[in-house]
Amino acid sequence: MKRNIVFVINYFYPDYASTGQLLTELCLHIQDDFNITVIAAQPGYAGEANEESKRITYDNLENIRIIRIKLPKVDKQNKLSRLRFIATYFFYANILVQRQKNLDFIYTISQPPILGGLIGTLGKLTKRAKHIYNIQDFNPEQAEAVGFSKNKQLFRAARWVDTLNCKYADHIITVGQDMQETLLRRFADRKVTKNTVINNWTNEQDIIPLSKQHPKVAEFIESNGWQDKFIVMYSGNLGLYYDLENVIKITKEFKDKKDLVFVFIGEGAVKKQMQQFVDENQLQQVYFLPYQPIENIKYSLNAADVHMVVNQKGIKGVSVPSKIYGVMAAGKPVFGVLERGSEAHRLIEESRCGVVSEPQDYEEAIHNLRQLYEMDRQELAASGMRGRSYLEEHLRRELSLEKYRNLLLSM
């Protein structure tokens, strides 16, 4: 008999959020093993308008039942707006969990911060179901790293609540070895909840290395006027946790390189600040594009000569930038701004697919990017393909999906 599992995961198909895409693929992978209900927000991660008037709506994706919550429009640069968005989701998600009958498992993720895990804790106590807690980001550590607030008592209380979520969970999944170390520190030598590291992934059969001469890649390049350009690309969330508002400043150092362009694809809280810097300094070679349709991402990723994978200082052991998997799948070299010992840094070092500088060491970042720009093009391409080979050996989508499937079935 199939067990009943509810995924409380805020973003789900067709949203652009990386967690939404990953967990959509996970649910599709295990839909024959479990009766799955997903509780998620109405699509709108990229800022697109949602005309739905009802607070709660119902949907299906193959055998997966989806319950969607209409949430207030969020201004990611406004703390009160973000808190209102999160509180509304938390309130309705809890109500919907309580309405589920004959529940065996509650699967939550660490979004929204602290409250994602708390939904699972409350659901476990009231529904007598097992709680699987998937930590994609550790909070309040992530909020502390970017100075979201200076209230230390608030952070202390938040860490206590989330550690309680970890203690009450039946199993914890982290997405990097450095994140598992953070979990162990949370427990401070006391007995740790059963836990597993399962890497995030990309669809390496869909995102494959393509040359700039591929018709769709060439069309993307030509439509933006980047023919014969050395393209340095960032593709993903332009949010608070990547130091992009400062990383953008290194573009000024390459103002004299007329054949080099910087491309930032995505949306997020610091995009306006980045655009303002570009406008004030009249940087003609810096471009901003919205999120690309999912079916076109494999072409936009392959348009780049080099991809940026960056994180704010203090994010080591707290979060793993999922974009690293797509970049490696496309066989592109990595320009990393990452802390030594972080999961993404480890992957770049082990695969030898790029160069890395420490966050906030902008001089080293400029040096590394210049090194990539001046590198022999065949040598540069070979560097990116080493990342692809490493991914095929160690980070295939099927490996991670089967680890999830076997873990859930074993419970």
Q: What is the mean pLDDT of residues 97-124?
A: 96
| pLDDT tens readout for residues 160-182 | 999 999 999 999 999 999 999 99
192 plus 220 within the same structural domain:
no
Confidence label for 47 from pLDDT (cuts 50, 70 and 90): low
329 and 384 fall within a common domain? yes
Whether residue 178 is found in the same domain as residue 153: yes
Question: What is the pLDDT, as a whole number, of residue 182?
Answer: 94
Question: pLDDT at position 49, please?
Answer: 58
Confidence of residue 73 (pLDDT cuts 50, 70, 90): confident
Looking at the fold, whether 132 and 250 belong to one and the same domain comes out as: no
Share of the chain above pLDDT 90, in %: 84
Instruction: Please give the average per-residue pLDDT across 7-30, as a whole number.
Output: 92
- Give the per-residue pLDDT at 50: 65
CATH code of residue 388: 3.40.50.2000
The pLDDT of residue 147 is above 70: yes
Residue 384 inside a domain? The answer is yes
Do 295 and 334 have their domain in common?
Answer: yes
> Are 266 and 143 in the same domain?
no
Structural domain includes residue 128 = yes
In this structure, the answer to whether residues 115 and 248 fall within a common structural domain is: no
Containing structural domain, residue 310? 215-393
Confidence label for 239 from pLDDT (cuts 50, 70 and 90):
confident
N-to-C CA span, the chain: 14
Does the residue 273 lie in any domain?
yes
Same domain, 225 and 371: yes
Count the domains in the chain. Answer: 2
Residue 51 has pLDDT above 90, yes or no: no
The token duo for 249 is 């400043």
The answer to whether residues 150 and 223 belong to one domain is no
Is the pLDDT at 45 greater than 70? The verdict is no
Q: What is the mean pLDDT of residues 180-193?
A: 90
Asked if the structure places residue 342 within a domain, the reply is yes
Considering the domain architecture, whether residues 222 and 105 belong to the same structural domain is answered as: no
| pLDDT value of residue 244 | 95
| Residue 339 domain flag | yes
Instruction: Calculate the average pLDDT of the chain.
Output: 93
Say whether both 285 and 387 belong to one domain.
Answer: yes
* 360 vs 188 pLDDT, higher one: 360
Q: Would 308 be classed as within a structural domain?
A: yes
Question: What is the distance, to the nearest Å, from the Cα of residue 150 to the centroid of all Cα atoms in its chain?
Answer: 25
Backbone angles phi, psi at 289, to 5 degrees: -125, 150
- Residue 257 and residue 163 share a domain: no
pLDDT at 20 over 70: yes
189 or 224, higher pLDDT: 224
Instruction: Give residue 18's pLDDT band: very low, low, confident or very high (50, 70, 90).
Output: confident
Q: pLDDT above 70 covers what percent of the chain? A: 98
**pLDDT tens-digit series, residues 265-306:** 999 889 999 999 999 999 999 999 999 998 999 999 999 999
Burial class (CB in 10 A: 0-12, 13-18, 19+), 209: middle
| Radius of gyration (C-alpha) of the chain in whole angstroms | 21
Q: Cα–Cα distances in Å, from 258 out to 213, 281, 335?
A: 21, 16, 20
Q: 93 in a domain, yes or no?
A: yes
Q: Is the predicted pLDDT of residue 48 greater than 70, yes or no? A: no
Q: Strand order in 34-41's β-sheet?
A: 56-61, 64-69, 34-41, 3-10, 105-109, 130-135, 171-174, 195-197
Position 173 in a domain: yes
Predicted pLDDT at 294: 86
